[in-house]
Structure 1
Amino acid sequence: MPNHDPYVLMTSDAKSKISDSKLIRGALALRCVPADDMYVVHAVETAKGIRQQVVIDRQYTTLRSGDNNAVGQWIRLSENDAHIHHFSLASRPGTAIGFDAFRRMVPGVMDPGNTLNIVVTHDPSIPSELKEVGITEFVGWLISRDQVYPLQLEIEPDEIGLGQLSGKWPIELLATNSVMVVGCGSIGSSAIESLAGYGVGRVELVDPDRLLWHNTLRHILGPESVGRFKVAAMEDYLAKRWPSQQVAAHRLNVVNQAHYLAPLLKGVDMVICAADGIGPRRVVSHLARHAKKPLVMACVLDGGAVGEIVRLRPTPRFGCLLCLRRHLSDHGAMDAEADQELGYGTGHVHRPMTAVPPDLRYIGTLAAKMAVATLLESIHGDHTQQLPGELATVGLRPIGDLSAPFDISRACDIRWSSLPEPRPSCPTCFP
C-alpha cells in the first residue's frame, strides 16, 4: 500500500462537465495541495483534445491553491460492478486489487507506467437501492502497475448551506421570522451566530459600542475587527458565513435612544437582550412588553458562576423583568442586576466580564435556542419545542453558596422555574 492516501475533491461543475460530456473517457487536470495531501480537479477533457476549466468558487480558498501539475483520467462505465468493488475495498483499509483485474473491470484505463495515477470512474446507472447503502455514481482510484486502491472522492453537493437541512429542520418556516438582538457582545454574538444556524431569516442588530482588544478573547469576532462598531462587523461576518440571512445593523444606545428602538420592535417577531447593565435590560423589557413581543434575556452572574436566561412573554400570566426582580428580592434571592452593574447612574462602571469564552457562548447559544423554540411553538404550532419553564438557571462554575434559584452546585445543571404574575403596581405591566 502507498505511504499516503490522497483525497480527491471535485466541485459540482467538474461533476457536470464529466456527466454532460459525449466522451466515454478523458483527461483530468488536478491541482495538488501537498500540505493536505489533496488533489482538486480543475480541468476536464469534455471533447477530444479540449479541456475546460472547472469553476471553483472563490470562497473555497484552499481548493484554489496548490500546483497545477498533476494529471489523471476519468472513465464512464456502463452497468458493471466496479463501484460495488470500490465500496467493498474501501470498507477494508489497505485492501487492493491487481492492475490487470482492474483493467478488465474498467476498460480503457491508461497504463500508469512507473508512477501513481488518479482515475475517476463514473457509473450513471447505479440503482437507487445501491445508492441508499453508500455506493456512489462517482468514485476515485489510485492506480499503479501492481495494485489499485480505492480513493476518497468528495463531490460538492448540489445544495450547500442551510438548504441541506430541508425536511430535517423547519428552515422554511424560520426563514419567515425575524429576531432583534440587543447587545452584540460575547453572549449576543454567539446568539446571533446560532440564530443564523437555526435558519432565522432576518436579524436586527442593536449595539452602540466598538469591538476593542479586550473583547476579542470572548467574542466571535477576532482581531481583524478591532476598532469597528460591533453591529457593522457582525453584519459583514454574517454576510460571509451565512449569506442567505438578512441583516440590519443599528448603532443605538437603547437607554438614550429608546424612541428609535420602539418602532423597530414592530417589525420583528422576537427579541433577545444580551446587553450589560441595569438600564439597557430594563428599557428593553419595558419596550418589548409594550410592543407585545416575547423577549429572551441572557447574562452570567456572580463572576461567571451561573448563567441566567429568562423568557418574558407579554401575557397576563407572566410579569416583566421588574416583577421578576422584585419577586426574587422578596424571597431572599441575591440582587442579580447589582451583580451586573454597580451603582447604575452614579458613575460606576459595570464589572468586567470574568466568565470564560465557552461558557459565554454556551449561554448565548441556549438563549438563541429558547428564542427559536418560542417562535416554533407560538407562531408555527410546533409543540415539540415547548420549554420546561420561563427561567433557566445554568451552572457554569458554581460554588453553591447562593440563594434560590441561583443555588446551583453542579456544572451544566439547568434549573427551570416559572415567573411571577404581573404586580398591580408595575409601571411596565400596568402602565
Structure 2
Amino acid sequence: MSHATFLIPRDALSRIAGAEASGGELRFRHVTADDFYVVTRVEVASGLRLPVDIPKSYQRLAWGDDDLIGQWLRTPERGVNHNHWYLLRRPGASMPYDAFRELVPGARDPGANVGFLITHEPDLPEEHVEAGIPEFAAWFLTRDEVRPAHVAIEPSTLGIQQLDGAWPIQSLASHSALIVGCGSIGSAAANALAAYGVGHLNLVDPDRLLWDNLIRHTLGPEHVGRHKVDGLKTQLGQRWPATTVTPHPLDVVDDAHRIRPMIKDIDIVVCAADGIAPRRVVSHLSRRARKTAILACVLDHGRIGEIIRLRPSPRFGCLLCLRANLAQQGAMDAEADQELDYGTGQVHQPMTATPPDLHLVGTLAAKTAVATLLETHHGDDTQRFPGEHAILGLHPTGDLAAPFDMRQAGDIRWSTLPSPRPHCPTCSAA
C-alpha cells in the first residue's frame, strides 16, 4: 500500500473541479498487478454519479472491476494538501486518524476497512504550487492512522505541445519531410522527426515488415506482413498524433517519376535506403529540386555510421562528388561497401549492426534534418552543425583509411564536403 498510486484522469479532474457539491462518492478500479487505483466514477451532486471518460489507448487503466468506493472532498481550509506533501516525503510517515478528522471533518469513518479519500484544494497560493504542493491529494484511512498516497494527474496538455516555449514546436509543425527507406535506420529517423515535432512526414518504402526485420526495426510483431510505411503510419499516429503521416509503398528508383513531384512539395529529404541506386537517385532528385537531403547508413558491417548533408549550394557537391573526392584520397568506396560482391551493385549486404547503433544513426539523421530546417528557415544559430559529413564510431576497428578511420566508439567526426566536380551531371544543372 505504501507504494500504491492513484491515477486521476483528466475527465475526473474536471468533474471534481466543476462539481457544485463540496464532496461526494468516488468509484475506483484497482489494478492489483501494478498496485494502482484509477478513478472511474465521480459523484458531482447528491445521487448523481457520472462515469469518467478514459481513452481506450490507456488499455491498462481498463483492467479490473471498479468496485471500490471512496470519497472526494473539497477542503475549506488550507493546509490539508500541504500535510500530504510533507508526509509523502518522509517514508513511512502517517498522521493519527483523530488529528486528520479535525483537519478534514468531512472525512468518512472507514470502520474496520481501509478508506480512500481524495482531497481537492483549489486556489493554492502560487508559491505553494511552485514548491510542489498538489491541488489533488490521495489518502488511505484507517481508524488508527491516515497515510498519504502517491497521485498521478493526467495533464491538460499532452504530446509535443508540452514542450511549447522550450522547443520551437510551432515552427517545426509547419514543415514536412520525405523519408526514403523505412527500415531500421529510417524507422528510427521517422520516430525522431515526429518526436521533434515535424508536422508532416511522407514515408517511401516498397518493402513489407518480415520476421527477420523484427530484431532491428522499431515496429513490433503485430505489424508483420504489412508494408513498413503503413505500420509506421499506425505507430506514429498512436505515439505522435500531432504529426500527419502519409505512406507511399513505392521504390525510389523504379518510381522516381512519382517521387520527383513529392520532393518539390516538401522541405527536406532523409534517405536511409539500402544500396547504391536509391541513394544516388535521392541525391540527384533533391539537388535538382533544390532541397537538402540527409543520407544515413552504416558501413564496414555496422562498425561505423555515416551521415551526409547534401545542401543545394554551389559550395557543396552531391553524393557522387563526395565519393569521387574520397576515392582520390584513397578512402574505401562507401557506396559499394553497402552491397555484396563489392562494386557489382547487385544485392545489398545483410544488416550486421546492432539495433541500438542503427537507431542512433537514424536519430542523428533526424537531428541533422531538424537542425537544418531551424537554421535555414528560422535563423536559429543554436542549431548550427559543425560540418556536412559525419562519421560515427559504433564498434570501430580503426583499420580503415581516413575519414573512416574511427578508433573510439561514440566518437563523431564532422568534416565539410568538396565543391561540385566540373560538368557533374547532378550539380551542373542544379
| TM above 0.5 | yes
TM-score of the aligned structures, taking structure 1 as reference length: 0.97
Instruction: Tell me what 1:189 maps to.
Output: 187
Match of 2:143 among 134, 142, 145: 145
CA deviation string 1:270-299 (max 9, x = no partner): 000000000000010000000000010000
Residues 74 and 94 (structure 1), Cα distance of their counterparts in 2 relative to 1, 3 Å cut: same
Distance 2:71 2:261 in 1: 62
Instruction: Tell me what 1:334 maps to.
Output: 332
What is the identity, as a one-letter code, of the residue corresponding to 2:158?
I
Instruction: Tell me what 2:377 maps to.
Output: 379
Match of 1:30 among 19, 28, 31: 28
Distance 1:236 1:364 in 2: 19
Distance 1:414 1:139 in 2: 48
Distance 2:294 2:417 in 1: 13
Deviates more, 1:226-235 or 1:33-42: 226-235
Instruction: Tell me what 1:102 maps to.
Output: 100
Instruction: Tell me what 1:85 maps to.
Output: 83
Residue pair 1:392, 1:414 contacting (<8 A) in 2 also: yes
Distance 1:373 1:125 in 2: 41
Match of 2:10 among 8, 12, 15: 12
Instruction: Tell me what 1:428 maps to.
Output: 426
Residue pair 1:277, 1:344 contacting (<8 A) in 2 also: no
SS of aligned partner of 1:63: helix
Distance 1:306 1:401 in 2: 12
| Cα shift at 1:256 | 1.6
Root-mean-square deviation (CA, aligned residues, Å) is: 1.2
Distance 1:335 1:378 in 2: 31
Structural mapping, 1:214-225, within 5 Å: 214-225=212-223
Match of 1:263 among 261, 264, 274: 261
Kindly indicate whether residue 235 of structure 2 is the aligned counterpart of residue 237 of structure 1: yes
Match of 1:53 among 51, 54, 60: 51
Residue pair 2:304, 2:394 contacting (<8 A) in 1 also: yes
SS of aligned partner of 2:49: strand
Instruction: Tell me what 1:412 maps to.
Output: 410
Kindly indicate whether residue 177 of structure 2 is the aligned counterpart of residue 166 of structure 1: no
SS of aligned partner of 2:33: helix
Match of 1:360 among 344, 355, 358: 358
| Cα shift at 1:239 | 1.7
Residue pair 1:79, 1:126 contacting (<8 A) in 2 also: no
Residue pair 1:191, 1:367 contacting (<8 A) in 2 also: yes
SS of aligned partner of 1:68: coil
Instruction: Tell me what 2:288 maps to.
Output: 290
Residues 358 and 347 (structure 1), Cα distance of their counterparts in 2 relative to 1, 3 Å cut: closer
What is the identity, as a one-letter code, of the residue corresponding to 1:158?
S
Q: Percent identity?
A: 55
Unaligned runs of 5+ in 1: none
| Cα shift at 1:344 | 8.3
SS of aligned partner of 1:240: helix
CA deviation string 1:307-332 (max 9, x = no partner): 00010100011100000000100001
CA deviation string 1:145-201 (max 9, x = no partner): 111111111111101111111111111110000000000000000000000000000
Distance 1:100 1:188 in 2: 61
Deviates more, 1:222-231 or 1:311-320: 222-231
Instruction: Tell me what 1:254 maps to.
Output: 252
Equivalenced residues, count = 429
Deviates more, 1:397-406 or 1:246-255: 246-255
| Cα shift at 1:222 | 1.6
Residue pair 1:278, 1:344 contacting (<8 A) in 2 also: no
| Cα shift at 1:346 | 5.3
Instruction: Tell me what 2:314 maps to.
Output: 316
CA deviation string 1:300-359 (max 9, x = no partner): 000010000010100011100000000100001111111101368957321100001000
SS of aligned partner of 1:323: helix
Distance 2:210 2:23 in 1: 57
Match of 2:177 among 176, 179, 182: 179
SS of aligned partner of 2:246: strand
Residue pair 1:21, 1:47 contacting (<8 A) in 2 also: yes
Residues 35 and 160 (structure 1), Cα distance of their counterparts in 2 relative to 1, 3 Å cut: same
Distance 1:5 1:330 in 2: 64
Distance 1:344 1:405 in 2: 19
Residue pair 1:279, 1:344 contacting (<8 A) in 2 also: no
Residue pair 2:291, 2:311 contacting (<8 A) in 1 also: yes
SS of aligned partner of 2:247: strand
SS of aligned partner of 1:336: coil
Residue pair 1:306, 1:396 contacting (<8 A) in 2 also: yes
Distance 2:423 2:37 in 1: 70
